[in-house]
Amino acid sequence: MTKITIAIDGFSSTGKSTVAKRLAKALGYVYVDSGAMYRAVTLYAMQNGLIETDCFDIDGLISQLEDIDVSFKFNEDLGFAEVYLNGINVESAIRTLEVSQFVSQVATISEVRAQLVKQQQNFGKDKGVVMDGRDIGTVVFPEAELKLFMTASAEKRAQRRYDELKERGDDVCYDDVLKNVQSRDHIDSTRDDSPLSMAKDAIKVDNSNMTLDEQFEFILKLSEDKI
């Protein structure tokens, strides 16, 4: 069976990773969460004093990029690959609201993007990959056979993210989550390098009123039509 590349882009908290993981499992493909890579670099910057509330040492981060190793390791129990920063599992540590508050600034830095995009292209060099992010169909895999662009209202997305954070036990308020979703959408869509935009050949999926099963079935059918 031919293997294809599936690129899933879209706004923050549109449920891209949930459907991408399920799709990868159904097709026997590798799933790569590219956002987790930007989050891991952000966590590194926070842990190393390069980002503090009113100060972001961009040059310092660029000069330390070669010390940052982001990798994935498949977790059999969870059924997906978890992200590691310099050998330490940071799958949970990268999902906090604090990391979300800085990640889009880190993602504007071209040197960071160049390093991560190269790694992402390497992950997908043999096809058979489902990757989600912001620039997968436009920059990382412009030749992807199937490109999806996921969207939903900001309020729905914030509610989903808020529920997720609460379920993990994080002490967050809905308004802060909504502001973060809106601010990331703005920074991600207006940055100079690889802004979030829908590829010309992408299929738009507004999942505001779709269940997870409906999204999965719809996207699985699109994938099978291409394989």
Binding site for ligand C5P (CB under 6 A): 12, 34-35, 38-39, 103-104, 107, 133-136, 184, 188
Cα 143 from chain centroid (whole Å): 19
- Convert 79-120 into a string of H (helix), E (strand) and C (coil): CEEEEEECCEECCCHHHCHHHHHHHHHHCCCHHHHHHHHHHH
Shortest distance, position 39 Cβ to ligand C5P, whole Å:
6
74 marked as part of a ligand binding site:
no
Spatial CA neighbour of 109 closest among 49, 40, 191: 191
53 is in an annotated binding site: no
Name the strands in the sheet holding 129-133, side by side, starting at the edge strand that comes first in the sequence.
Answer: 30-33, 129-133, 5-10, 146-151, 203-206
Q: Nearest approach, Cβ of 64 to ligand C5P (angstroms)?
A: 19
10 is an annotated ligand-binding site residue: yes
Closest CB to ligand C5P among residues 48, 182: 182
How far apart, in whole angstroms, are the C-alpha atoms of residue 130 and residue 18? Answer: 12
Nearer to ligand C5P, 113 or 223 (CB): 113
Closest distance to ligand C5P from the beta carbon of 224 (Å): 25
> Please, are residues 177 and 93 in contact by the beta-carbon 8 Å criterion?
no
Specify which residues 83 forms β-bridges with: 72
Q: How far is the CB of 206 from ligand C5P (least distance, A)?
A: 18
Cβ distance to ligand C5P smaller for residue 115 or 225 = 115
29/76 with CB nearer ligand C5P:
29
Binding site residues for ATP, as ranges? 10-18
Binding site residues, as ranges? 10-18
